[in-house]
Amino acid sequence: MADAHSDAAFERRKRAAQPRRATAADREQVIECLTAAFATDPVMSWIGRKDAKRDQGRRAMFRFLVGKLGLPGGELWTADDYGAAALWIPPERADMKLPWWEEVRLLPTIMTFTGIGGLSRADAFRKAADKHHPKDKPHFYLMTVGVNPKFQGQGLGSALLEANLAAIDAKGLPSYLESSNEKNVPLYRRHGYQVINEFRPAPDGPPLWGMWREAKAR
C-alpha cells in the first residue's frame, strides 16, 4: 500500500512544479506562506524586531513586497495550494525604485517590521544589497522564494524554482539572487547558480551569498 504522506508530498510537489501567476485574489494566502516561511530566516531575524510583535512586523513587510512589487511586477508565482511562493523582479523593473511619496508611506511599514532599533539594520541591508547587486546586464532577480514550514524538506521550493527558471531560460535571460541561509547555497548551485560574492550588511550582521545564473538552453 502506498504511503499516504508520500502521496500527499508528491501531489504538493506536482502543484509546485506547475505554479501560476498570483493575482490579487491570492494576496493574503501568499503573504501568509512567505510570512511563515521566513520566521527563522537569519537576515529577516537580524533586521526585524525582537519583541512580541515580531510576526506581525514580518507580515507587514511581506504585505508591502507582495502588494507593491510582486503583484504589479507580474512575476509573483504560487502553487495552487499556497505551499510555496516566489517573487521575482523582472528586468524592466530592475531599479525597484518607488516615487518619493511611496517611500514616505513605506516608513510606517518598515517601523512595524524593525521597530525603532532596527531601522539602521534595515538601511544597512538595503545599501549592502544594492552595492553587490549586478547592474551590467538585464536579468531576473529572485527577491524571495518560500515554502510553508509544514511542507519544507519535500522539494516544493526546488520544484517551483525549476518551473520559474524554465520560463526565464526561454527568454534567454540570466538571473540573480541573494541566499540568506548557507544551507540553501548547495540547492541553488544544483539549479545552475554560482556564488559571485559574499557579504555582510554590517559587522554584526549575518552573511549573504550573491548568486548568478546564466540562461541555459533546453
* CATH assignment of the domain containing 65: 3.40.630.30
153-190 confidence digits (pLDDT tens): 999 999 999 999 999 999 999 999 999 999 999 999 99
Quick check: 73 pLDDT over 80?
yes
pLDDT at 105: 77
Count of domains forming the chain: 1
| 104 inside domain | yes
Note down the domain range covering 95: 19-213
Domain contains 13 = no
- Residue 1 inside a domain? The answer is no
- The pLDDT assigned to 5 comes to 61
The 10 Å Cβ neighbour count of residue 208 is 23
Higher pLDDT, 143 or 97: 143
Q: What is the mean pLDDT of residues 4-25?
A: 91
Let me know if residue 2 belongs to a domain. no
Mean pLDDT of 18-46: 97
Q: What is the mean pLDDT of the chain?
A: 93
Does the residue 14 lie in any domain? no
Q: Residue 97: which pLDDT band, with cuts at 50, 70 and 90? A: confident
Decide: 214 and 192 in contact? Cβ < 8 Å: yes
Residue 30: inside a domain, yes or no?
Answer: yes
pLDDT for the residue 128: 97
| pLDDT tens column, 118-152 | 999 999 999 999 999 999 999 999 999 999 999 99
Whether the per-residue pLDDT at 109 is higher than 50: the answer is yes
* pLDDT of 110 above 60: yes
Mean pLDDT of 43-47: 96
